[in-house]
Amino acid sequence: MLSRLVSSRSYSAAAGAARSSSFVAPTEEKVSRLPSGISVGSIDNAGPVSQFVIAYRAGSRFEGADEAGLVHHLRHAIGTDSRNYLGVKLLWQTGSIGGTLNSSATKDLLLVQINALRNHAPIALSLLGEFAQPALKPWDVIDNVTSFKNSLAATDPFDATVELLHRAAYRNGSLANSTIAPLYTAGKVSPKKLAKFAANRLVASETAIVGVNVDHSLLLQFANEQNVIPAGAGSSSIPASPYIGGDSREASGTPLAHVAIAGAGVGLNDARGVAVQAVLSAAIGAGPATKYSPHTGNGIVTGSVLKAANNNPVGIAPINISHSDAGLAGVYLVAEGSKIESYIRAAVEGLKQLASSGVSGDALEIAKKTAELNVLIRGENPTTLASDRAAQLLASGSAQTPVEIAQAIAQVSGDDVKKAASKLVSKLSVGAYGFTAHVPYADQL
């Protein structure tokens, strides 16, 4: 579950819907589990551009109490020297085949991605294997401090708010560990500590290799014969992180208040629950899909907030976050800080209405179709498709096809949504960033 996982960001799919509501499957989808422990997955839509990802079960939740920000530092080491090649040579070779490199991290995963034209797939895979095993030389770690500080300065308020929501929801649990490192850690994480973490987590049994628009046999050949990922298993299982609920907020100089209100959801290991949560998020609703649209958005909670706003500007989006074994569902608001309180209370009233009355009839069908559309549109992007599939493989050892996800959403009932909403409102968490003076606490809602 990668990235900003809000609304359409919770699960991936790669199929179109026909007028008869039957879905067109991709050309080929395969999953293999190798003796080394590596999970290999592929989706071949016969496209001309291949996308590859190596995902490690090495997200921020695996950081120790004295390792805050370690994964963020490790992510910035992607693109530096590997054990076999200079980083500048690897980057030059990537550019020479028209490829692009990206690294990202979630609570669960550290991901390294590369894309290239399909006829350069073997070269791209070899490069990816090198990038995914940085040597973590002391001078490389030092050189990355400037870019690390720049990334912290460019932190989006949305990301900061979602991290605060996790801190409130899981408190001292592993899912409260932030993917955004504290500024005081810049230049303070030693190469030895990074190397120790990498040796423990960037190993075969904690790895998934996923390709989109590539022959499955090529991925298997790479995983079996060419990859440089060390054999072994991580020293610990996924740390449990029970949902607790509460508040976390951070004031800043902006006049806007960014507020995330959520309750307990489901993890990727609950396939049916993920489908239900997708419909719940669609029923919560979102603002207009296009800028300056006269349309007022859709959904029960959205309607409640827009009524309270009385034509004042307010941004609304559903929160739909699924980690490997836990999740959050709720609503995200951004508005002028001095007016945010009434919008928050209206949003919570909308959530409680969903929990008490549920959703049925045309409203349920609209929510289900919206959820299906979100899943299918997300799957059009091979980058997110590859990372989402890797998240599924590492969460449960298997992966639903996009068609199966859409079909599961079609089977969701109004009672399913009501139960999920009741679970959501039973204990709320509030994360707030910006002008927080008028943001109510969870126990006031």
Which of residues 358 and 256 earns the better pLDDT score? 256
Q: What distance in Å separates the CA atoms of residue 256 and residue 241, rounded to the nearest whole number?
A: 31
Asked if residue 238 has pLDDT above 90, the reply is no
Rounded alpha-carbon distances, angstroms, from residue 260 to 166, 245, 280, 304, 376: 10, 12, 16, 16, 25
- What is the model's pTM? 0.90
Phi, psi of 379 (to 5 degrees): -70, -10
Same domain, 46 and 94: yes
What's residue 296's pLDDT?
A: 67
**Per-residue pLDDT for 313 more than 70?**
yes
The DSSP result for 212-257, as a single string, is ESS-HHHHHHIIIII--PPP---SS-PPP-----EEEEEE-S-SEE
pLDDT in tens, 49-85: 999 999 999 999 999 888 999 999 999 999 999 999 9
pLDDT of 1 > 70? The answer is no
pLDDT of residue 15: 32
Query: Would residue 212 count as lying in a domain?
Result: yes
Helix (H, G, I), strand (E, B) or coil at 310: coil
Q: Say whether both 214 and 269 belong to one domain.
A: no
Q: Is residue 401 part of a domain?
A: yes
Q: What is the tens place of the pLDDT at every residue in 368-386?
A: 999 999 998 888 888 999 9
Please identify, among 197, 226, 255, the residue that sits at the C-terminal boundary of a domain: 226
Tell me the three state secondary structure of residue 67. Answer: coil
Mean pLDDT of 192-203: 94
pLDDT of residue 379: 84
Residue 3 pLDDT? 32
pLDDT digits (tens, 9 = 90+) for 404-418: 888 999 999 999 999
Residue 439 structural domain: 246-444
Q: How far is Cα 151 from Cα 156, in angstroms, rounded to an integer?
A: 10
CATH code: domain of residue 336 = 3.30.830.10
The pLDDT of residue 10 is above 50? no
- Contact yes or no for 418/352 (Cβ under 8 A): no
Answer for the pair 172, 248: CB distance below 8 angstroms, yes or no.
no
In a domain, 181, yes or no: yes
Q: What percent of the chain has pLDDT over 70?
A: 92
Paired strand residues for 334: 258, 315
From 171, 198, 226, the end of a domain falls on 226
Please count the structural domains in the chain. Answer: 2
Pair (180, 50) in one structural domain? yes
- Claim to verify: residue 100 and residue 171 sit in the same structural domain: yes
Give the whole-angstrom CA distance, residue 409 versus residue 362.
Answer: 15
Rounded (5°) CA angle 139-144-148? 155
236 pLDDT band (50/70/90 cuts)? low
C-alpha 151/C-alpha 435 separation (Å) is 23
> Is residue 326 predicted with pLDDT exceeding 50?
yes
Q: What percent of the chain has pLDDT over 90?
A: 77
pLDDT above 60 for 11: no
Q: In the structure, what pLDDT confidence band is assigned to residue 14 with cuts at 50, 70 and 90?
A: very low
Higher-confidence residue of 290 and 428: namely 428
Q: Is the pLDDT assigned to residue 393 strictly greater than 80?
A: yes
Residue 182 lies in a domain: yes
Concatenating the DSSP letter of every residue in 350-409 gives: HHHHHHHH---HHHHHHHHHHHHHHHHHHTTSHHHHHHHHHHHHHHHS----HHHHHHHH
Task: Indicate the residue among 175, 198, 226 that finishes a domain.
Answer: 226
- Mean pLDDT for all residues in the chain: 89
Q: Do residue 268 and residue 297 come from a single domain?
A: yes
pLDDT in tens, 77-127: 999 999 999 999 999 999 999 999 999 999 999 999 999 999 999 999 999
Residues 406 and 341 in one domain: yes
Residue 159 has pLDDT above 60, yes or no: yes
Contact between residue 231 and residue 290 where contact means Cβ atoms under 8 Å apart: no
81: tokens are 């020297």
